[in-house]
Amino acid sequence: MNRLPDDKRLQFVPQEERPPLTPQLALRVAVVGTVALAMFAIIFFRLWFLQVLSGDQYLAQAHGNRARSIDIPAARGQILDRSGTVLVDSKAVPAVVVSPPDLPVLLTTALIPHPPQQDAALYDRLAGVLGISTKRSRCPVAGNGVVHLSPIGCAIAQHFALLPYADVTVKANVSKYVQYYLQERQDEFPGVHVEQVWLRKYPLGGLAAQLFGTVGPVTAQELKEPRFRGVSQSAIVGQSGLEWGYDRYLRGEDGAENVQVDALGRFEGNLTETPPVAGRSLKLSLDTRLQKVGQQALQTSIDDNPPANAGAFVAMNPDTGEVYAMGSLPTFDPNIFTRPVSEAAYRQLNNPASNYPLINRATQSAGPTGSTFKPITATAALESGVWSTDETYDDSGEFCIGAQCRHNAGGAAYGVLDLLNAIRVSSDTFFYNLGALTNADPATHPGGGALQQWAHAYGIGRTTGVDLGGEVAGNLPSPRWRAHIDRLEAQCEHTRHVASCGIADGRPWSVGDNVNLAVGQGDVQVTPLQLAVAYAAIANGGTIVRPHTGLEIDAPDGRLLRRIDPPPARHLNINPDYLDTIRAGLRAAASQPGGTSYDVFGNFPEEVYGKTGTAQYNGQQDYAWYVCFVPDWATRTPILVVVHVEQGGFGAVAAAPVAREILSQWFFGNPGNFVAGASKTL
């Protein structure tokens, strides 16, 4: 048997014996294995869920990524006068629109102050095509303060800060050459496209311009309001005036067009479309011809009575509150707002130098009324029992309280007067006396006496509820009001460490305050529309009407959908004999020799009841007022007119002639001659 050499023999080294698996280690291995198995099971189940159960859903979403939904704006409804004349219309124009989600670099809130270079370059290229400046300037952006951006960058930033996913209209009414240029170069202008938008159009220019209001893109805050529930983020809605008040009828419903695009956002084809629904029409109670005559007559009075520079008028039905005409001068052409308005142009429309053309002075400008307040004082004196219809007062031309004396305008003395004749000649001393008699002790009557009670009931110091929005309440002075402004003055002086803030003089209420109020002077603040509502109650027997310019809502084809006829606000229980006396005084003032508007209306064929007013205001030339009505018992077409001419002087000279032309147009179809009065009473 052959044996291997010793060095060739296998060397067997004894093996170390491995230790047995401990229970703790086995448990750990089991736990790790279970977790790994569970993870693989979850991943497998998720893959199966995505591919089998949800495959169709994600396939649809993938297709959706290639689709874009484009809002199709609805045309806003027309605004018409009572005879169907179009006052406000809509016209379709092409507009260049930028879609923020489709910009070269996705815009975010953090990037608003400093747009990415690619986006900024796009804005500048687009500005060159549209003829828009690329200069960076101050741009206020919600949530970011004031930043410096180009005009296009500013428009996009401002819109994005409010509505991040809504398209931004950069320029409307662009030429067909601009449209062709952009459509042929979509690769150079990502996120830019041309859409049809609707712009408001005002065929009659500055006629009744302050009534219509403005429209604009819905804001993020407005979208939270119930009245805008369901409105698309790119909707154009009413922002003021009639456009705001009747927005839900005028707005219509935007449509939507779903289109297919490629990865670069280029149009590939149409998918589905929901057509827009045009807004409904709003027919107003306005009479266009009466409106034109009123504005022309008011402008004539302003021109003829320097330094008069502004004014307003209201013509309405004293029984129903339907507004036949409402004008404010100076006016403006609202077509300016159908295109971007420069800051300079807007400042010109809303500053003292141009006398605030945007303000509707019939509802948003208040001041002392002068003697047109006297019928309200007469009501308070009669109803409170401090005076009677046959009681007389000896007008010596002077009325004194202590050492302080007041006089009639021009130093006139009218002798013994009853209430009817005091209204006819507009005796100040007669009504000074009534103001003193109706004053109440401030300690026991902080809200004032009978004069404040009845003035408030007539609507002084409170809004009328007219459907235009934005009206001011004015002011009805009382002991409580006087104490309030005294407190404000004291707080201001203490905070600012000054001798006077000019809010109040710190004195308490006195009988002199009530004496001033009795003749429409002092701290009383009344709008022309408030005065119209008060006189309507005198004309109709005590009903406080709710003035309204809306008459009916019509379908686009002209079908009546809703009639607008708001109920009265309230009814005043005034003794009919007292109303008859006050009316007789107003009739005598317009029709009898010695009446304050006899020179203007003495030969007028209709039965006019009228009152002049001349108000002293802040050291300026007096403000002229005139109120008149032809009631329903004298005509089948009753009408009430209020005219206010700022710094026009005496009411009979500047305001009454305007009212005569309005009445002449209403009853006879032409304004006739401008007839100025000569009465110089306050």
Q: Which pLDDT score, from 0 to 100, does residue 331 have?
A: 95
The string of pLDDT tens digits covering residues 19-55 is: 566 776 667 777 777 777 777 777 776 666 556 555 5
Residues 6+ apart with CB under 8 A from 119: 103, 104, 105, 107, 153
- C-beta separation of 221 from 245 below 8 A: no
613 pLDDT above the threshold of 50:
yes
Confidence of residue 675 (pLDDT cuts 50, 70, 90): confident
Integer Cα distance of 167 and 218 in angstroms: 12
Integer Cα distance of 682 and 679 in angstroms: 9
- C-beta separation of 576 from 494 below 8 A: no
- C-beta separation of 202 from 209 below 8 A: yes
- Angle between helix axes 528-540 and 374-384 (nearest 10 degrees) is 50
Choose from 21-35, 118-132, 330-344 the range with maximum mean pLDDT.
118-132
The string of pLDDT tens digits covering residues 510-547 is: 999 999 999 999 999 999 999 999 999 999 999 999 99
DSSP string, 495-544: HHT-S--SS---PPP-HHHHHHHHTT-TT-BB-HHHHHHHHHHHHHTSEE
- C-beta separation of 67 from 259 below 8 A: yes
3 state SS of 579: helix
Q: Look at the block and give the residue holding tokens 């180009």.
A: 150
- Least Cα distance to 193 among 182, 178, 184, 201 occurs for 182
Q: Which pLDDT score, from 0 to 100, does residue 222 have?
A: 83
Confidence of residue 138 (pLDDT cuts 50, 70, 90): confident
Q: Tokens representing 83?
A: 């005879």
In which element (H, E) is residue 10 found? none
Q: Which pLDDT score, from 0 to 100, does residue 316 have?
A: 98
Choose from 101-110, 162-171, 508-517 the range with maximum mean pLDDT.
508-517
The pLDDT of 610-625, averaged and rounded, is 93
How many residues does this entry show for the chain? 682
Indicate the pTM of the whole model: 0.83
Strand partners, 270: 259
343 pLDDT above the threshold of 80:
no
Least confident of 214-218, 320-324, 358-362: 214-218
Q: Which pLDDT score, from 0 to 100, does residue 8 have?
A: 45
Q: Which pLDDT score, from 0 to 100, does residue 414 have?
A: 97
| pLDDT, the chain, mean | 88
Confidence of residue 114 (pLDDT cuts 50, 70, 90): confident
- Least Cα distance to 409 among 62, 168, 109, 650 occurs for 650
Residues 6+ apart with CB under 8 A from 605: 667
Q: Could you tell me which residue, 57 or 391, shows the higher pLDDT?
A: 391
In which element (H, E) is residue 46 found? helix 23-48
Integer Cα distance of 609 and 591 in angstroms: 8
Q: Which pLDDT score, from 0 to 100, does residue 269 have?
A: 62
Integer Cα distance of 532 and 545 in angstroms: 10
Cα-to-chain-centroid distance, residue 225: 17
3 state SS of 622: coil
Confidence of residue 101 (pLDDT cuts 50, 70, 90): confident
- C-beta separation of 87 from 202 below 8 A: yes
Confidence of residue 682 (pLDDT cuts 50, 70, 90): low
Q: Which pLDDT score, from 0 to 100, does residue 330 have?
A: 96
The string of pLDDT tens digits covering residues 631-661 is: 999 999 999 999 999 999 999 999 999 999 9
Burial class (CB in 10 A: 0-12, 13-18, 19+), 309: middle
Q: Which pLDDT score, from 0 to 100, does residue 196 have?
A: 81
Integer Cα distance of 470 and 467 in angstroms: 9
Integer Cα distance of 313 and 641 in angstroms: 7
Integer Cα distance of 288 and 338 in angstroms: 22
- Strand 609-615: give its sheet, edge to edge: 323-329, 310-316, 639-646, 623-630, 609-615
Q: Which pLDDT score, from 0 to 100, does residue 10 have?
A: 41
Q: Tokens representing 408?
A: 């009639």
The pLDDT of 273-290, averaged and rounded, is 93
Torsional sign, CA 513, 516, 517, 523: negative
The string of pLDDT tens digits covering residues 435-488 is: 999 999 999 999 999 999 999 999 999 999 999 989 999 999 999 999 999 999
391 pLDDT above the threshold of 90:
yes
Choose from 12-26, 48-62, 272-286 the range with maximum mean pLDDT.
272-286
Least confident of 37-41, 285-289, 594-598, 663-667: 37-41
Whole-Å CA distances, 599 to 592, 614, 676 = 9, 16, 7
Q: Is 426 left (phi over 0), alpha (psi -120 to 50) or beta?
A: left
- C-beta separation of 258 from 69 below 8 A: yes
The string of pLDDT tens digits covering residues 176-233 is: 888 888 888 888 899 898 888 888 999 999 999 999 988 887 877 888 888 888 787 7
Burial class (CB in 10 A: 0-12, 13-18, 19+), 573: exposed
Integer Cα distance of 89 and 78 in angstroms: 5
Confidence of residue 608 (pLDDT cuts 50, 70, 90): very high
Strands (E), 266-343: 267-274, 281-284, 310-316, 323-329
Whole-Å CA distances, 626 to 80, 203, 538 = 29, 31, 15
Burial class (CB in 10 A: 0-12, 13-18, 19+), 458: buried
- Angle between helix axes 374-384 and 511-518 (nearest 10 degrees) is 120
For the chain, domains (ranges, CATH) are: 68-92+191-284 (3.90.1310.10), 288-668 (3.40.710.10)
Q: Look at the block and give the residue holding tokens 């859903």.
A: 57
Q: Which pLDDT score, from 0 to 100, does residue 43 have?
A: 76
411 pLDDT above the threshold of 60:
yes
Least confident of 169-173, 249-253, 312-316, 449-453: 169-173
3 state SS of 384: helix
- C-beta separation of 641 from 324 below 8 A: no
Percent of the chain's residues with pLDDT above 70: 89
61 pLDDT above the threshold of 50:
no
Q: Which pLDDT score, from 0 to 100, does residue 11 have?
A: 45
Least confident of 216-220, 386-390, 608-612: 216-220
Q: Which pLDDT score, from 0 to 100, does residue 310 have?
A: 97
Q: Tokens representing 398?
A: 């002077």
- Least Cα distance to 529 among 463, 586, 626 occurs for 463
3 state SS of 361: helix
Residues 6+ apart with CB under 8 A from 661: 293, 294, 296, 297, 671, 672, 674
| Number of alpha helices (DSSP H) and beta strands (DSSP E) in the chain | 23, 25
Integer Cα distance of 97 and 170 in angstroms: 6
